[in-house]
């Protein structure tokens, strides 16, 4: 794997500088470290495609370990600024893990309580991280998936409106706006405007919607490809099979030039392959995204140059208890 491509410019206030540490409260320090993640180029993976570059944003380098730090921080910041998240209120949301970890990290640093609704079958590592941060967790049946967690969070919010601030990441505009103002501009700067394709998995859809929307403004010829699991019953944590799921209110299907389906088996295989061929340990949804990139690359016309960029949502550290690592 070639050295990471660094940013050519920084978004104002989005990067932490050591000289600010004496003046920044700890909670603000966390927020300032979010974003400006490096862009990694996969050289061995695409060696059979000499005019195609496949790159991924290393989002595990955010302080909470995933791309969800971006949305969670923007949601919290806006809720506090508008008086929705006030002292004494509990932040409530449904999560498959990573957004919950981001909320819990920020909440611990800033001193407000958080309650998270999540499926009971999320990885044991995610559960342990959330417990370490002191989050209150309400587990929902595994068979109900992320939709079950959403329904339970809505029920809690409806029963106790004065107790909770229901962040509702699936409907919150500040989710996709975090990527519109941050992720997309970073990709544009890091590729020096050469990006030709943007590929991302769909979960809340915030990453895809915000990034694709902004990249389209920067260059209407950039193709945006959304990815989702190939069935309602899948093992790609955090991803949504839209035809069978509660569709997030922020989702805009018109932004996708193409939508591809990825199997759980393909995601697992790519996770193992990236670890063994690129020396890169990534999570299941990140591996699925790379599998999608390779599929897009192999569909291109012969000798058609392309710069394909995706989002590596998190590292493989949160999935090491999963059995697929030992499978062949």
The pairing of strands 197-201 and 52-58 is unpaired
* Structure-block tokens of residue 3: 């050295």
- Distance between CA atoms of residues 161 and 75, nearest Å: 18
> Catalytic residue numbers?
68, 285
Please report, in tens digits, the pLDDT of each residue of the chain (328 residues total). Answer: 544 554 433 333 333 322 333 344 556 666 788 999 999 999 899 899 999 999 999 999 999 999 999 999 999 999 999 999 999 999 999 998 999 999 999 999 999 999 999 999 988 999 999 999 999 999 999 999 899 999 999 999 999 999 999 999 999 999 999 999 999 999 999 999 999 999 999 999 999 999 999 999 999 999 999 999 999 999 998 899 999 999 999 999 999 999 999 999 999 999 999 999 999 999 999 999 999 999 999 999 999 999 999 999 999 999 999 999 988 7
What global pTM score does this model have?
0.90
What long-range pairs does 126-133 form, CB within 8 A, spacing at least 24?
A: 126/97, 126/98, 126/100, 126/101, 126/318, 129/65, 129/101, 129/104, 129/318, 130/97, 130/100, 130/101, 130/104, 133/101, 133/104, 133/105, 133/107, 133/108
Go through the domains of the chain in sequence order and give each one's CATH number: 2-66+174-326 (3.40.50.1100), 68-166 (3.40.50.1100)
């Amino acid at each position: 794997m070639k050295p990471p491509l660094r940013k050519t410019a920084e978004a104002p206030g989005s990067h932490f500088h050591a000289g600010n540490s004496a003046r920044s409260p700890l909670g603000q320090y966390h927020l300032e470290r979010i974003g400006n993640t490096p862009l990694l180029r996969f050289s061995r993976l695409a060696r059979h495609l000499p005019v195609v570059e496949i790159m991924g944003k290393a989002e595990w380098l955010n302080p909470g370990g995933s791309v969800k730090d971006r949305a969670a921080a923007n949601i919290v910041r806006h809720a506090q600024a508008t008086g929705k998240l006030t002292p004494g209120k509990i932040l409530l949301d449904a999560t498959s893990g990573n957004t919950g970890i981001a909320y819990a990290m920020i909440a611990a640093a800033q001193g407000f309580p958080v309650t998270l609704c999540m499926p009971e079958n999320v990885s044991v590592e995610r559960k342990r991280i959330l417990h370490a941060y002191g989050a209150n967790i309400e587990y929902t049946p595994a068979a109900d998936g992320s939709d079950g967690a959403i329904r339970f969070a809505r029920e809690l919010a409806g029963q106790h409106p004065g107790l909770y601030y229901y962040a509702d990441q699936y409907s919150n505009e500040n989710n996709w706006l975090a990527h519109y103002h941050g992720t997309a501009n970073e990709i544009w700067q890091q590729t020096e405007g050469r990006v030709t394709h943007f590929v991302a998995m769909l979960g809340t859809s915030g990453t895809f919607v915000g990034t694709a929307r902004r990249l389209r403004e920067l260059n209407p010829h950039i193709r945006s490809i959304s990815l989702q699991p190939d069935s309602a019953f899948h093992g790609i944590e955090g991803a949504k099979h839209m035809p069978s799921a509660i569709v997030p209110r922020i989702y805009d299907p018109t932004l996708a030039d193409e939508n591809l389906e990825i199997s759980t088996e393909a995601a697992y295989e790519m996770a193992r392959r990236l670890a063994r061929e690129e020396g890169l340990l990534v999570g299941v949804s990140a591996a699925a995204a790379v599998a999608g990139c390779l599929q897009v690359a192999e569909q291109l016309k012969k000798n058609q140059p392309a710069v394909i960029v995706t989002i590596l949502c998190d590292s493989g550290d949160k999935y090491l208890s999963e059995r697929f690592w030992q499978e062949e």
